[in-house]
């Protein structure tokens, strides 16, 4: 009786040990006597103890932080850059067989790729063309990790940190650029004003009556200032009509 109980207990233990339950986002890579057999899951699966071995693989998107990297840009500026990588395992067999630690391998590859790609660009490109750099890094990572059964869906550069001296230099450069634009705008305004004045002068010189009306308008405006004495140059052209009328009367 004792032997039967022991045998039954052993049988129950073996059955319990052979049962595996995999979630919807999990797969089980099964090895039979050390050799790859198949990928199972999700749901309830049976693994024969001592003969078969199962390795769980998570198929959900993994968010991996790339540690801060010291990068020297093409124009010899030292910056600190970190990023985040989004990827998922699409082939559990290759993710287990082709690489010892898929997450560590992806992290190391992301770090070296980040330094390599950013080192080919100048600082201004790192700051202004971040979307393009993200796409370049993502394409390189996706190409190299394809043999590991991984799909890199996105890469985002989070921070590009500069030292204090470089921040001051960039601020001075931006201030100089703003001053240059202000001077250019002022010069363009002066040129446009001079052009308009020249056109107005040409029009007044061609139309004597318009010139006389302009003088009379100016006299009216000056007289409203409240001053007792007004000194205003009176052009001879304005007196010619009056002188002609006086000559006719005489």
C-beta contacts of 100-105 below 8 A and 24+ residues apart: 102/148, 102/149, 102/150, 103/62, 103/64, 105/148
Q: Which residue has the tokens 């990572």?
A: 141
pLDDT tens for the chain, 250 residues: list them.
778 888 888 878 888 888 989 999 999 999 999 999 999 989 999 998 889 999 999 999 999 999 999 998 888 888 899 999 999 999 999 999 999 999 999 999 999 999 999 999 988 888 889 999 999 999 999 999 999 999 999 999 998 888 776 666 666 777 777 788 888 888 888 888 888 877 766 766 666 556 556 666 666 665 665 555 555 555 555 555 555 555 555 5
Architecture of the 62-167 domain: 2-Layer Sandwich (3.30)
* Angle 61-63-68 from CA coordinates, rounded to 5°: 155
Contact 212, 238 (CB under 8 A): yes
Going from the C-alpha of 70 to that of each of 48, 64, 116, 123, the distances in angstroms are: 50, 18, 11, 13
Measured between alpha carbons, how far is 50 from 57 in angstroms, rounded to an integer? Answer: 20
Q: Which residue has the tokens 């290759």?
A: 94
Residue 32, beta-bridge partner list? 35, 52
Measured between alpha carbons, how far is 69 from 84 in angstroms, rounded to an integer? Answer: 12
Contact 64, 106 (CB under 8 A): yes
Contact 86, 153 (CB under 8 A): yes
Do the strands 43-46 and 78-89 form a parallel or antiparallel pair, or are they unpaired? unpaired
pTM of the model: 0.67
Q: Which residue has the tokens 């198929």?
A: 59
Q: For the chain, what are the domain ranges?
A: 7-58, 62-167
């Amino acid at each position: 009786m004792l032997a039967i109980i022991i045998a039954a207990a052993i049988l129950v233990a073996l059955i319990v040990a052979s049962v595996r339950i995999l979630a919807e986002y999990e797969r089980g890579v099964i090895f039979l006597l050390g050799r790859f057999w198949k990928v199972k899951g999700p749901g309830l699966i049976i693994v024969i103890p001592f003969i078969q071995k199962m390795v769980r693989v998570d198929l959900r998107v993994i968010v991996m932080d790339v540690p801060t990297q010291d990068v020297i840009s093409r124009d010899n500026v030292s910056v600190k850059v970190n990023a985040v990588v989004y990827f998922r395992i699409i082939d559990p067999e290759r993710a287990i067989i082709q690489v010892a630690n898929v997450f560590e391998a992806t992290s190391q590859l992301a770090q070296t790729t980040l330094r390599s790609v950013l080192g080919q660009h100048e600082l201004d490109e790192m700051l202004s063309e971040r979307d393009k750099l993200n796409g370049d890094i993502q394409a390189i990572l996706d190409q190299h990790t394809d043999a590991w059964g991984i799909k890199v869906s996105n890469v985002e550069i989070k921070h590009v940190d500069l030292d204090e001296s470089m921040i001051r230099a960039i601020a001075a450069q931006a201030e100089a650029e703003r001053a240059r634009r202000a001077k250019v705008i002022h010069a363009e305004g002066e040129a446009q004003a001079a052009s308009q004045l020249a056109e107005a002068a040409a029009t007044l010189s061609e139309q004597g009556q318009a010139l006389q009306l302009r003088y009379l308008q100016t006299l009216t405006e000056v007289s409203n200032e409240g001053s007792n004495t007004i000194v205003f140059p009176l052009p001879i052209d304005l007196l010619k009509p009056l002188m002609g009328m006086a000559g006719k009367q005489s």
